[in-house]
């Protein structure tokens, strides 16, 4: 959670009082389009979250943003998932409860990505 707070604080240093200039808007559009076509899976192995890039954006920095977002957000629900796994629940119920927790990963990763991509767009447009 601290990492997301830091990222959001960093994004807050980007001018917010007016719409971004056209070159920043275009950079955001291009990055979002590239991310939309990517596929990255996150798996837990020996207590560590690993990313598998199945379909890359073609931009390693963007792939890393998506990977970092998913890993961060999975870490937020992991203790609850592990606690559920320790319960003696029927398989269907266990899967349903894990899926409920997993639903929070999408909005979390979107917030994370938005903060980082906004910052990246400003940096890339200025370079």
Instruction: Check residue 12 and give its pLDDT.
Output: 47
pLDDT tens, position by position, 25-46: 999 999 999 999 999 999 989 9
pLDDT tens, position by position, 69-126: 999 999 999 999 999 989 999 999 999 999 999 898 999 999 999 999 999 999 988 8
Measured between alpha carbons, how far is 114 from 80 in angstroms, rounded to an integer?
26
**Element housing 40 (H / E):** strand 39-45
48-55 and 39-45: which strand pairing?
antiparallel
Give residue 36's region: left, alpha or beta (phi > 0; psi -120 to 50): alpha
Q: What is the pTM for the complete model shown?
A: 0.78
The domain spans of the chain are 19-126
Measured between alpha carbons, how far is 111 from 31 in angstroms, rounded to an integer?
15
């Amino acid at each position: 959670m601290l990492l997301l707070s830091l990222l959001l604080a960093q994004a807050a240093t980007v001018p917010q009082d007016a719409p971004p200039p056209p070159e920043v808007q275009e950079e955001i559009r291009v990055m979002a389009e590239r991310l939309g076509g990517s596929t990255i899976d996150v798996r837990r192995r020996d207590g560590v979250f690993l990313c598998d890039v199945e379909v890359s954006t073609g931009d390693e920095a963007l792939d890393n943003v998506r990977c970092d977002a998913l890993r961060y957000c999975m870490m937020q629900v992991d203790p609850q998932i592990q606690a559920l796994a320790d319960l003696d629940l029927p398989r269907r119920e266990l899967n349903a409860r894990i899926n409920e927790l997993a639903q929070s990963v999408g909005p979390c990763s979107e917030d994370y990505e938005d903060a980082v991509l906004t910052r990246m767009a400003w940096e890339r447009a200025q370079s």
